[in-house]
Structure 1
Amino acid sequence: MAPSSVNGDSAQDAAAEQPSTPELLEQLRSDRLWLLQQIDAGRWPDLRLDLAALERELGQLLEQAQERLGSPQP
């Protein structure tokens, strides 16, 4: 049976569209910055502590990924 995906593309097409590791790390950095800005702006006050913890953990994860890849952070 041939592989399928939700949107009907082949597995090969889906693999070709996946971001590279550096691109993925950059997107995660961007998302982390956005989350931090939202927290600082007072958005979701009832979730502030949990979101701040998530932001810190994401920062640590990104640092570890950079160390393992051996490339400097931007």
Structure 2
Amino acid sequence: MADATTSRPSETGTAELISTLKSDRLWLLRQIDAGRWPQWRLDLAALERELGQLLDQLSDADSSADA
């Protein structure tokens, strides 16, 4: 039987993933604002918004867990 530390991702790994996703979101937003991929602009903007919402939810959940 696995203990709790091996059955869920480490907090450090999760924090690194969130940081990477935030950086990727910022990069995507800058690319959209610069006019790249005009044929995909609406889809990419929707993806960027969804990623932002996901990151906000993760941040809220993390804040609740710390309290």
Q: Which segments of 5 or more consecutive residues in structure 1 lack a partner in the other structure?
A: 1-18
1:20 alignment counterpart: 13
Q: Which segments of 5 or more consecutive residues in structure 2 lack a partner in the other structure?
A: 1-11
SS at match of 1:60: helix
Between structure 1 and structure 2, the one with the greater Rg is 1
Residue 41 in 1 paired to residue 41 in 2? no
2:58 alignment counterpart: 65
Runs of 4+ aligned residues of structure 1 deviating over 6 Å after TM superposition are none
Relative contact order, CA 8 A, sep 6+: which one is greater?
2
Structure 1 Cα separation of the partners of residues 14 and 56 of structure 2: 14
Q: Deviations over 1:18-46 (max 9, x none)?
A: x6111100000000000000000100000
* Greater share of helix: 2
> Shift of the alpha carbon at 1:70?
1.1
Amino acid across the alignment from 1:63: D
Identity between Structure 1 and Structure 2 (%): 68
